[in-house]
Amino acid sequence: MASKPDEPPSADILAKIADYPVLDRDGKEHNFQDLYAGPDAAERTLIVFVRHFFCGSCQEYLSRLSSALPLSTLNSLSPPTSIVIIGCGSPDLIPHYATQSSTPYTIYADPSRKLYADLGMVTSWVLGEQPSYISRSMPTLVAHGFRQILSHLFSGLALKAGPGDQQGGEFLFERATRRVSWCHRMPGSWGHTEIEELKTILGGKE
C-alpha cells in the first residue's frame, strides 16, 4: 500500500533501506544512507526522486530548481543543505540527464526501484494539472523525450531510462537524526513540489 503523499517514512522503513545501493555515473555502488548521513553529507539533504531519464518535465523542473537554489545558496542556508537527485533508469544515462537538466546536483540511479517502492512512491499514468515550473506544452515535452530516445538507439540505452509510469517525490533528510523531516510523493507526472514552496521549506525564500 502506498504511503500518504506527505507522510514521512517510519524509522523501520529507513532502517530497511539504509544500505540499499544507488549507482553513480560510473556505475559505482553507494549505500543510500551515505547520501544523507555519510562523512561528506550536508546537515540536511533534499533527495529528489525523478521519473525516467528522458522525462522532459522532470528535466525542466531540475533546470528551474538549479537556477532557484544554486549550490552557493544551498551552502549558505541555515543549516547548510545539499540536493541530490535519484532516477530510476540506467546509470549510464546520468551524464545525458545532467546535461539535459542543466543541473550541478549530484545524480544517482536506482534501476531496481526498491527505494521508490519502499518509500511509498506510486506508479501511475496520471498527468495532473500543469504546474508553474512547466513552460512547455505536453506535445512539445513528448517530442523532446522522443528525440532523446532516438538519440540513444545505437547506444543500447534507448529502453533503459526507466518505466514511464514510475513517479517520484522529494524527501528532506536530517543528518543528525537520519530521519525525514518533510516529504512529498508525486501523485502524477506533473506532481513535483512547486519550487517556491521548496524554497520556503528550506528557508531559502527571500
Q: Which amino acid is at 140?
A: T
Say how far apart CA 196 and CA 43 lie, in whole Å: 21
Cell of 115: 527505494
Q: Which residues pair with 82 in a beta bridge?
A: 45
Say how far apart CA 206 and CA 5 lie, in whole Å: 27
Nearest to 47 by CA among 28, 26, 20: 20
Say how far apart CA 119 and CA 114 lie, in whole Å: 8
CB 155 within 8 A of CB 77: no
Domain ranges of the chain: 11-202
Say how far apart CA 202 and CA 104 lie, in whole Å: 18
CB 172 within 8 A of CB 182: yes
Nearest to 85 by CA among 112, 119, 61: 61
Cell of 92: 549510464
Provide the residue-wise pLDDT of the chain in tens; the chain has 206 residues: 445 668 999 999 999 999 999 999 999 999 999 999 999 999 999 999 999 999 999 999 999 999 999 999 999 999 999 999 999 999 999 999 999 999 999 999 999 999 999 999 999 999 999 999 998 767 666 766 667 666 666 677 878 999 999 999 999 999 999 999 999 999 999 999 999 999 999 996 65
Specify the CATH number for 11-202; select among 3.30.420.40, 3.40.30.10, 3.90.1570.10, 3.40.630.30: 3.40.30.10
